[in-house]
Amino acid sequence: MGVTGRLREALRSGVFAVTAEIGPPRGADLGAIRDAAAVLRAWVHAANITDNQGAQVRVSSLAGSVAALAAGLEPVMQMTTRDRNRIALQSDLLAAGALGVPNLLLMTGDRPERGDHAEATGVFDLSSGALLRAARALRDDGVLLSGRQVEPPPDYLLGAVDLGSGSPDRVAAKIEDGAEFVQTQFVFDVPAFAGWLGRVRDLGLDRRCGILAGVGPIRSLRALAVIAGLPGVTVPDALVRRLRGVPEDRVAAEGMTACAETVAALRELPGLAGVHVMSVGHERGVPEILAAAGLRPVLPTT
């Protein structure tokens, strides 16, 4: 198999899927994406290329996805509804298909006031669900929101995000909109996540959509404070005490070990399709986490 189709095949075959995440650079140089791809490509089935995450200006996710492809790493191109209207969004959907981007993750995006252009006007012409439906119609029916036909239509795997807690009805709605895989928010409390996944499984949703649990290392006490404040994230008291109980110069290593333990525990949960490892800026640590969790490279490393 070539660069594309690895994630689709992993989800289809039931192989434990692994995705990671790359944040494009804040400069006109794609070297950082190529470097991250060199680290990740043997260990993950695909890697998200974020879309101006945190509402901060970076190289576009489309350009980053093309660079990842050229470097031998299958991309998951993130698209947010924050910055573009339906004309521009559909144009990028077509561009992604034309350039061979195999996977899309469609989401709302962070509010502009959280980023480096707080005065920017958010567009939000479409909801994330509406964008999913538009992408599915474009792929399956070759039709734009205007009703006009396109030829040939693009082809890609469609994904969405979820907190990984609360009502599983949100996942059901995303599946109805067209999601074929869902990546969740950070999971630190495995028993709580297992309860949510059980409710998802009871509805048969895991058989219709690949659920990838979000994981990531907490590498500093400052990061602990930030991550603990994210929507939908619960950091168990035991993990907080564990990270605060080691010398400051050991927090990063302890966070990596704890993340590997979380991945190993998640692998035992029925109905879970895989994990999504979020370690942006520290991609070189992803293989270490996966190996410590008992996972092996998905491609030869030589």
Per-residue model confidence as pLDDT tens digits over 101-145? 999 999 999 899 988 999 999 999 999 999 999 999 999 999 999
In a domain? residue 12: yes
The strand pairing partners of 107, in sequence order, are 80
In a domain? residue 253: yes
pTM, two decimal places: 0.96
Residue 242 contacts by C-beta under 8 Å, 6 or more apart in sequence? 254, 258
pLDDT value at 301 more than 80: no
pLDDT value at 299 more than 90: no
pLDDT value at 4 more than 90: no
Give residue-wise pLDDT tens across range 178-235. Answer: 999 999 999 999 999 999 999 999 999 999 999 999 999 999 999 999 999 999 999 9
Residue 166: predicted pLDDT: 95
Domain that holds residue 262: 6-292
Cβ atoms of 19 and 277 closer than 8 Å: yes
Q: What is the CATH number of the domain that holds 187?
A: 3.20.20.220
Q: Per-residue pLDDT averaged across 146-165, rounded?
A: 97
Secondary structure of residue 58 in the 3-state scheme: coil
In a domain? residue 1: no
In a domain? residue 297: no
pLDDT bin (cut points 50, 70, 90) of residue 8 is: very high
Neighbours of 229 (CB within 10 A): 9
Residue 135: predicted pLDDT: 98
In a domain? residue 279: yes
Q: Mean pLDDT of all residues in the chain?
A: 96
3-38-212 Cα angle (round to 5): 65
Number of domains in the chain: 1
In a domain? residue 197: yes
CA distances from 58 to 55, 106, 115, 157, 219 (A): 9, 18, 11, 24, 24
Q: Per-residue pLDDT averaged across 31-37, rounded?
A: 97
